[in-house]
Structure 1
Amino acid sequence: MRWFYSLLWWVSLPLVLLRLWWRGRKEPGYRQHIAERLGFYDGPAPVVDGRLVWLHAVSVGETRAAEPLIRELLDVFPDCALLLTHMTPTGRAAGRELYAKYGERLHQVYLPYDTGWMVKRFLRHFTPRLCILMETEVWPNLIAQCNAHQVPVALVNARLSERSLARAGRFGGLLQQAAQGIAFIAAQTEADAERLRKAGAASVEVTGNIKFDVCPTPAMLDAGAAMHTRFGSRRVLLCASTREGEETLILDALAEAPLGEALLVLVPRHPQRFDDVAREIEARGLTYRRRSSLGYEVPPDVQVVLGDSMGEMFAYYVAADLAFIGGSLLPLGGQNLIEACAVGTPVLIGEHTFNFAAVSNDAVTEGAAIRVQDATAMLQQAAALLADDDTRRAMGMRAREYALQHRGATARTVWLLAPLLG
């Protein structure tokens, strides 16, 4: 089965590279470092006393979520360096911004495509002592090559939905074989652990969700406070990490469920869509400003601020009075609501949160979040909460308490990873 999987990779590789070049029209980063995606690298990664830890964080979300793990690994193992791999230019840019402080102890490259030959070149070039995959990144050839080169593989902050488990079953023994090649899995919840065992994983421990250990820096808190000052005295609804199609629903619903004097801040998840969303706002005749061109204060006639900046999500949450978490109005699986809760911002979510089912359901149960049926219901609920300071503040306090109660996953994970480093 893995032989057939590898053949499909080689057959589709020209189309994969063509798509890469096509995506580079809007996001030039996709046209950079293409050789790395094929397993060719210019220089070696930093190695301290010969020990290199390799951590794969596919895109922005995983790169940001890995921050407490990276910090803890480099603190606990001062004789190690870290190689951070990505698959998207936005993930790589986020890593460059977040981890520049580690200097030569941290190096970034793209992970090669999952063919045995390319992964083998990668492993021979960097010779890592340990491979750490984040959340759902199970690649059959990567794991097989790591096993062949005696590089132990760990899957951390792991999650697996029922939908993904059913999908894995359709691939015969391919993913089961890959799961059996993982030396250690740190699962977010007991339900995730049970599904991972059904998928074929052997060594699974429940450590909790590392994302609860992500904390805003003082600089980001200051940036959020400054942003709040620019918004003036108006209440602010943040629609964070919205996905394609959701902005249309929200902007259309705004006519049926207006926010009154409140300001709507709309932050698309993918930067290549900033201009498309700007055109949608203009098409509805709404007065708006871009985050990148905000003056000292948002004029009172502005109805929408388009968040066209990267790496500022904590600042947006600090500046907002209420946050809707995108990816949940349409069947896209939702996005992470933990960052909003961590700074005490109450949360609204849609019906579709299957990728973050546990944290979403727990947040609703704890009174930190409210689930809404559609965009109109979301704006109606937002208007009610923005007009009720006491209820909203109490909800924000519960959000903060919920985030604090679930910290500690990073320390548990690193303690269990230690034996794999030898």
Structure 2
Amino acid sequence: MRLWLFLRLWSALWHLGLPVVLVYLWWRGRKDAIYARHLGERFGRYGNGLPGAVWVHAVSLGEMRSAVPLVRALLDRGDKVVTTHFTPAGRREAARVFAADIAQGRMRVVWVPFETSWAYAGFFRAFRPVAGLVMEIEIWPRMIFAARRAGVPLFMCNAQYPTKSMARDEGFPLRHALMRGFAGAFVKSDLQAERFASVGVDNVEVTGELRFDQPIPPAQLAAAAVVRPWLAGERAVVTFASVVEGEDAIYLEAIEAALAAGGARPFFVYVPRKPERFDEVAAMIAARGLKALRRSEILDAALVPLGAPVAADILLGDSLGEMYFYIALSGGVVTGGGFTPKGAHNIIEPLALKCPVIVGPEVHTIEYPATEAIEAGVCLRVETPEALRQALGPDGWAGPTAEEIEDFFAEHAGATARTIEALDRQLTSR
């Protein structure tokens, strides 16, 4: 009864709030026009559908990148795929990576419908998916129950239930009821399986972390091999990856300390998480008297150097989709987000390139594989800014060997195959 009342209230709020949502999309569309395009899709109007597709919901860029190996494997075995997104970043990534498959009519990339029963009814009429896979842990009530009504088994995929989320949900048991509306969950680890099972989710299978299977763009690695000596010579290079608002002062102070420590001066690559922060971060660096170069000014679109090298201590990564290039420049990575309550970002990309990785104290967002990586010694968790400065100093963290990282990575790879096997098993058993 409580769940029924909640769903009615949820629907009422969405219907009343639709004008606000439309104004938001219009406002965001002033800066990024794609927000306001294909608006009919958000109302469940998709034109030519793709009946019988596997539906993959990847709300934004991070979720889409984790879905790439899975979508590739589904397409390669002959499945049709439709991906849904809420943000332009996720949609653009899907359209870029799978452009050939889209052109061949084997895949569609569309907006997820608004949280209304009639918008989802339009989506299910157009695509009649054989199953749905919701990347990470996206709990959208109308999505869950519209899928059930349409007879589409909907699974959480690459899922984890972070400690902080569990603590929050103790005061909101309806969230557990919503989770139980899924047909099952494909989760990252045994610990995560126990957590989902503890709140009553059925059909939980441990499939691992899909990001371990992400393809690495060879062109970015080749470009880094050329740019690194041109940019930094023989200096050790450290990359700060996916830095978020609120932690720049901590990281820039660590950079200043490392440059002032004496001995060989390291070189730093600094990559903000969001493009709207590029100019702001450039101003912060300049205000500290640090000499920085911008990727957009010293490299062309193909990552080829423009002109002669210029002496500097920092490369500001003011581009999107080139994280493997920035990591490949370095011998060690500090992953951003860990010094904010929102939590650290992905550590798998550095490990894929055999780079030791440092994270801040907040790792609840990447509980798996951070816990395992820290225990294996391939990741260092620093609790304070001072500990970070020490770790980056001349007598700081030595880090693991490349072989140790490779062994850890191999142990945790293979989630794509396990996920497809689990999906087939679940669909066969229905």
TM over 0.5: yes
**Match for 1:332: what amino acid?**
K
Q: Provide Cα deviations, 1:5-63, integer angstroms capped at 9, x if missing partner.
A: 2222223333333333333454444333333233333x324x4xx52111011111111
Q: 1:416 aligns with which of 412, 422, 425?
A: 422
Residue 121 of structure 1 aligns to a residue in which SS?
helix
Seen in structure 2, the aligned counterparts of structure 1 residues 397 and 14 have a Cα distance that, compared at 3 Å, is farther
The alignment's C-alpha RMSD in Å is 2.3
Q: What TM-score results when the alignment is normalised by the length of structure 1?
A: 0.90
| Alpha-carbon separation, structure 1, partners of 2:384 and 2:20 | 37
Number of residue-to-residue matches in the alignment: 411
Q: 1:269 aligns with which of 269, 273, 290?
A: 273
For residue 172 of structure 2, what is the aligned residue in structure 1?
171
Q: Provide Cα deviations, 1:268-318, integer angstroms capped at 9, x if missing partner.
A: 112222222222223323221211221427845312211111111122221
For residue 158 of structure 2, what is the aligned residue in structure 1?
157
Shift of residue 256 of structure 1? Answer: 4.0
For residue 202 of structure 1, what is the aligned residue in structure 2?
202
| Alpha-carbon separation, structure 2, partners of 1:271 and 1:413 | 33
Q: 1:279 aligns with which of 257, 278, 283?
A: 283
Residue 340 of structure 1 aligns to a residue in which SS?
helix
Seen in structure 2, the aligned counterparts of structure 1 residues 10 and 230 have a Cα distance that, compared at 3 Å, is farther
Seen in structure 2, the aligned counterparts of structure 1 residues 226 and 137 have a Cα distance that, compared at 3 Å, is farther
Shift of residue 377 of structure 1? Answer: 3.1
Q: Tell me if structure 2 keeps the 8 A contact 1:162–1:195.
A: no
| Alpha-carbon separation, structure 1, partners of 2:343 and 2:177 | 26
| Alpha-carbon separation, structure 2, partners of 1:266 and 1:380 | 19
Seen in structure 2, the aligned counterparts of structure 1 residues 378 and 2 have a Cα distance that, compared at 3 Å, is same
Q: Tell me if structure 2 keeps the 8 A contact 1:165–1:199.
A: no
Shift of residue 368 of structure 1? Answer: 0.7
Q: Which structure 1 segments of 5+ residues have no match?
A: none
For residue 9 of structure 1, what is the aligned residue in structure 2?
14
For residue 405 of structure 1, what is the aligned residue in structure 2?
411
| Alpha-carbon separation, structure 2, partners of 1:17 and 1:195 | 37
Shift of residue 126 of structure 1? Answer: 2.1
After superposition, residues 66-215 of structure 1 pair within 5 angstroms as 66-76=67-77, 78=78, 80-103=79-102, 104=104, 105-173=106-174, 175-215=175-215
**Match for 1:399: what amino acid?**
I
Q: Provide Cα deviations, 1:61-117, integer angstroms capped at 9, x if missing partner.
A: 1111112111221223x1x21111111111112222222242432221111222222
Shift of residue 421 of structure 1? Answer: 5.3
Q: Provide Cα deviations, 1:174-231, integer angstroms capped at 9, x if missing partner.
A: x333322211211111221122123331111112111112231323322332332442
Between the aligned residues of both structures, percent identity stands at: 36
After superposition, residues 4-403 of structure 1 pair within 5 angstroms as 4-41=9-46, 43-45=47-49, 47=50, 50-76=51-77, 78=78, 80-103=79-102, 104=104, 105-173=106-174, 175-233=175-233, 234-258=235-259, 261-295=265-299, 296=305, 299-384=309-394, 391-392=398-399, 394-403=400-409
| Alpha-carbon separation, structure 1, partners of 2:48 and 2:180 | 30
Seen in structure 2, the aligned counterparts of structure 1 residues 123 and 266 have a Cα distance that, compared at 3 Å, is same
| Alpha-carbon separation, structure 1, partners of 2:42 and 2:309 | 46
Shift of residue 380 of structure 1? Answer: 3.3
Residue 331 of structure 1 aligns to a residue in which SS?
coil
Seen in structure 2, the aligned counterparts of structure 1 residues 317 and 167 have a Cα distance that, compared at 3 Å, is same
The farther-off stretch of 25-34 and 323-332 is 25-34
Seen in structure 2, the aligned counterparts of structure 1 residues 144 and 373 have a Cα distance that, compared at 3 Å, is same
Q: What TM-score results when the alignment is normalised by the length of structure 2?
A: 0.88
Residue 186 of structure 1 aligns to a residue in which SS?
strand
Q: Which structure 2 segments of 5+ residues have no match?
A: 1-5, 300-304
